[in-house]
Structure 1
């Protein structure tokens, strides 16, 4: 067995590798960019080495630097995790040259399956069904585009993880889509080649986990369904798939093993398929690495995939045969992203000011943070993965909902409420979903989410904030930043009118003390007794009348409160004179009437299309800001002239940082 493994990755997967390696008695060496020095994987590993500062090419993608560190610290193996260099054949070759064992497949397998075009050809030769598709130069693709019915799917030939993919619904969109996809492919994967294929109508995304050792043993660990995606990024995964019948489940498992044997493959890999309404499946791609969603397979089979990866790389024989592997119960994984669903899912990097993860032993949380830290714009927006098990799908769903309601992250926006709404939807319960579901139904889902927020009792939410202040006073807790009104007047005195701004509504409440921890609230015609049961690290448990509520409360820098209630986020601001409050409205970017366009998020300017003096038309893309592997177009809100440009190509920008100044023009100039 290995003595020391270098982990060529970051984030939750680096933490996950550490845990499995340590359980096997192997020490670990973490590497980290300087902006990642407070990340959990640095503390979890046996030792850690800085990669310095700079772009990804200078840190986590710097093969020479990583190999040099592995040699200097006497490592005998390297685990790449997922993403970054995990499917980079040149990295595997560099490990081999340095006499380091790469914990993954051979460079030959990575090359073969890493390119979608070659992988597709190989799958066809191996007898695995595929959809129609083609590649070539931009001119060739434009010409061949007429051969397939629209819509088409354009994707990076060397891509994965939902990056570098676009749907084209008509011929007029094809050329621009090829250019954008090619640019993303070059940025993320170092290969600008793109592939075009037929786009199936409302397919399911089914993937099969395989394990193969170096002794010609290959097994599958059944399937996962990953149909709930947004912009090709998976957000909810589950095992087993609720969409497969028994015959198709057996057939798709055999097809995955057949392909792995044909390569021949070793270590862990995932073979992805699209499933149509007639239970026919088509090869999509193979990921020659551990997958983000591997935990649902671990929970339903009881097999530690990371440990098996390490043991296979060390030459061990698989300890089980296909007949030994059973799939029991149901598991659901929710990916927690730093993004704002209400703001077109824009990335939301920044400072986490309050972090309270679900603490039940029945939940598994794979994450790289254990306290409030800064989420960098340079990396993927995933904060954590919440994985929940149940005896069946309905129990797993109910447990997932409970866990998400116990998960509070303040300071940045997250998709927790969106995930909750998906799990609670009738469509999910009845399994009426597909890979297109989120993109088709999100506008309706967001409207429903806002309606649900409004329907929650304002008094119940206000009581959470008031309970936080009252309990803090009773506990003599001076950790929160608000000037406490109860310390000014004494909590035992009546306040005839407490004025709050809650979810953009002004709320007036009368509060009278009954006894310590118990108060009478008067809100309009409502008269309720508030009893504070428990306060711990911002978690407030209280009764309003006979109903018990749980909320999570934290202070903001502007002396307001952020409240998580039933998985939803609210802002509460004291408006009475002692709170000395003003509502601070955040500038969210360009508006129609503004001549200054600002960045909607922290990120990097990856393309600048205009210069000072240019005239532009409404809707024209002026520049592109990339954040968390997502391109965001900054468009002209009107016909205008570019007066001034405040940024340059490749410049890093902060949220609300001015980008371009426009001026009015006469229509005749256009």
Structure 2
């Protein structure tokens, strides 16, 4: 476990740079960048803008219609509208992005990550337009664009790769089906039996074609206990290739990273040196320049295998910045201007851990959540996008803020919360505490899962692997509203305080009926609060030992026996958010006498979110079993299964592929077996 200062730096002697085809490259042309358009959105656009401001470079944002008032748009010097909402009509339109750069007078384009960041045709189009491309050469992007071709190149360069069986047999199981042209968990399927293979291949091809424009997939051995370890690379046009430390990104859901850290813990020094050397060899093999990441699968026995090379800045780059003190965006800009990199990597100091805060519900198969974000507030005033340790040790990278709306059009990530400390245990504790005490008012998030994972003994012992979240799901996704009954009482008292007259609300000189309020938790459970405030104090049904210490519109303090609990209260329409040391609770106030409503037909399946039906798994008249997928909805860049609620017969199916649905839309009906 790294503590204090660890010198992982090696001097990298300059070698003539070679292109992906093996030919020696000419030295880069020196230029000065004056204005940068970021062909992206959200927190990565804000991250690039921060460095540009520090360097005196003008900034240009692009935005879709839903992003018209987004933070990255407000912070840019100039903003250009991309008409439409869907990524295919906006951020994935290379012609519109280049036209925007010309219209705004930008002389360089930074692609960020995602969207067109690893699209060789876009990179070439930027160069053909006479603009500076802040990224690797198009040929290097193309060389790594197909995982199958990348593996062939890496094997030729002596980098260890996992062999892909052409005709898998029982001995090759389990297998991982992967899309050749993309990443981020799209087009991936785990296959544990040969009977599953045809369906997995078909599903992966369909998803890959839609996500990446190519239905090419391949199989490789799946290592359930493997770790996802990557090396941050930076290369210039003069032959210098630097390995700027490593990261562990093993904690994943749906093959997408959730918690990352630098340096990767528990790795032998010899293995670390070999990983760095393999990463440098991979970059040299394709004539790489700029920032990139070589990703490896680390087996329990210490062997490692090349997975892919991301030819862009990674989402998790902040942890490397925090332990090295380097500004990776500044280095990208320097390389794009034709500058030299230093010949030696800096030492890494301490440990940095990043948690990705998503608007999603881990208890419901990671279902994404949408809606207004009223408040996102972390304790200790973390510094945004800083590249060095702050006085509090906390960094926040976010593309949203109070007043933002989480929509179905884009990824569900709200923010990246990063903690740095001299030791790994201290960083994990600091990050878990910051997440626990954060005030997050809006859609449900994965905050509770993140804090439990950071405090889990296996995580603290660095017993990491890519199946960590699934293995420990029983303790990581326990119900989060254990404090709901007491929180509901606090919400009722805060509400009463807003209508207080000279006498406390509910106070009577003579005995009377109790005050009654009803609430629904985020899990759908309903609770009723009954209380009186008399001369003898608070009398609350179900809370005989509870004493009211203080009640105000935004703060309620209750004493339960010797325990005093303080709630910070915020109300947004009927929704009440309560934050306390016991955790956060969101309640929806209900009418005491609700109007009669029609009840949903038993067995009816309603759309849990807005989205598009992408495929069906059953037909009307089919016998189905509980949990069997009936259809898949695509929303927020992910596919979500809609499953049968019970054993029975599918009697109605009201949607088909391509149908767009809103929350609450009736999708199907399953008649339960008698």
Query: For 2:615 and 2:543, how far apart are their aligned partners in 1?
Result: 54
Partner of 2:34: 3
Distance change in 2, residues 1:230/1:644 (3 Å): closer
SS in 2 for 1:300: helix
Of residues 358-367 and 189-198 in structure 1, the stretch that sits farther from structure 2 once superposed is 358-367
**How far, CA to CA, are the matches of 1:104 and 1:40 in structure 2?**
24
Name the structure 2 match of 1:479.
none
Q: Show CA shifts across 1:47-92 (max 9, x none).
A: 1111001532211101111111112222111000000000001101
Q: Does the alignment pair 1:405 with 2:428?
A: no
Tell me how far 1:440 sits from its aligned partner: 2.4
Q: Aligned equivalents of 2:506 and 2:614: distance in 1?
A: 58
Aligned to 2:570: 554
Structure 1 residue 24 corresponds to structure 2 residue 55: yes
Q: Does the alignment pair 1:326 with 2:347?
A: yes
Decide whether aligned partners of structure 1 residues 391 and 510 sit closer, same or farther in structure 2, where only a CA change above 3 A counts: farther
The 3-state SS of whatever aligns with 2:261 is strand
1:465 aligns with 2:496: no
SS in 1 for 2:416: strand
**Residues 333-376 of structure 1 deviation map (CA, whole Å, 9 limit, x = unaligned):** 01011111222221112233444344523221111112132211
Residue pair 2:164, 2:219 contacting (<8 A) in 1 also:
yes
After superposition, residues 64-463 of structure 1 pair within 5 angstroms as 64-134=95-165, 144-146=167-169, 149-318=172-341, 320-323=342-345, 325-361=346-382, 362=392, 363-446=394-477, 449-450=478-479, 453-454=481-482, 456=483, 458-459=485-486, 461-462=487-488
- Are the counterparts in 2 of residues 622 and 633 from structure 1 also a CA contact under 8 Å? yes
Question: Who is 1:476 aligned against?
Answer: none
Q: Could you list the runs of 5+ residues in structure 2 that have no partner in the other structure?
A: 1-31, 383-391
Rounded to whole Å, the distance in 1 between the matches of 2:137 and 2:669 is 52
Residue equivalent to 1:44:
75
Partner of 1:604: 612
| SS of residue matched to 1:99 | coil
- Say which of 612, 622, 631 aligns to 1:616: 622
In structure 1, what is the Cα distance between the partners aligned to 2:162 and 2:303?
11
Cα distance in 2 between the residues matched to 1:600 and 1:346: 8
* TM-aligned CA deviation for residue 658 of structure 1: 1.8
Equivalent positions of 1:502-521 (< 5 A) are 504-511=526-533
Q: Distance in 2 between matches of 1:146 and 1:209?
A: 36
What SS does the corresponding residue of 1:188 show, helix, strand or coil?
helix
Cα 1:541–1:132 change in 2 (3 A) is farther
Give 2:661's match in structure 1, choosing from 635, 645, 653.
Answer: 653
| CA distance in structure 2 between the aligned counterparts of 1:652 and 1:457, rounded to whole angstroms | 35
Name the counterpart of 1:478: none
Q: Counterpart in 1 of 2:16?
A: none
Shift of residue 641, structure 1, vs aligned partner:
5.6
In the alignment, the residues of structure 2 paired with residue 542 and residue 212 of structure 1 have an alpha-carbon distance, to the nearest angstrom, of 57
Higher mean C-alpha deviation, range 246-255 or range 302-311: 246-255
- TM-superposed CA distance for 1:290, in Å, is 0.4
**TM-score, L = length of structure 1:** 0.85
Other structure's SS at 1:119 match: helix
CA distance in 2, matches of 1:55, 1:574: 34
Corresponding residue of 1:137? none
Deviation at 1:618, TM superposition (A): 1.1
> Is the contact between residue 85 and residue 409 of structure 2 (CA under 8 Å) also seen in structure 1?
no
Count of aligned positions: 620
Structure 1's 45 and 177: CA in aligned 2 closer, same or farther, altered over 3 A? Answer: same
Distance 2:45 2:586 in 1: 35
Contact 1:499/1:574 (CA < 8 Å) preserved in 2? no
Question: Which protein has the bigger helix share?
Answer: 1
Deviations 1:375-416 (A, max 9, x none): 111211111101111111111111111210222323311100
SS in 2 for 1:385: strand
The answer as to whether partners of 1:618 and 1:635 remain within 8 angstroms in 2 is: no
Q: Out of 511, 528, 538, which is 2:547 matched to?
A: 528
Relative to structure 1, the CA distance from residue 337 to residue 232 in structure 2 (aligned partners, 3 Å threshold; closer, same or farther) is same
Q: Secondary structure at the match of 1:35?
A: coil
Secondary structure of 2:277's counterpart equals helix
Deviations 1:14-61 (A, max 9, x none): 111111111111111111110111211111111111100153221110
For residues 664 and 432 of structure 1, the distance between their equivalents in structure 2, rounded to whole angstroms, comes to: 43
1:169 positional shift = 0.3
Q: Relative to structure 1, is the Cα distance of residues 572 and 148 closer, same or farther in structure 2, using a 3 angstrom cutoff?
A: same
Does the aligned pair in 2 maintain the 1:531–1:544 contact within 8 Å? no
Give the drift of 1:432.
Answer: 2.2
Q: Which shifted more, 283-292 or 48-57?
A: 48-57
Structure 2 Cα separation of the partners of residues 664 and 526 of structure 1: 45
Query: Displacement of 1:490 after TM fit?
Result: 3.6
Name the TM-score, length of structure 2 as normaliser. 0.85
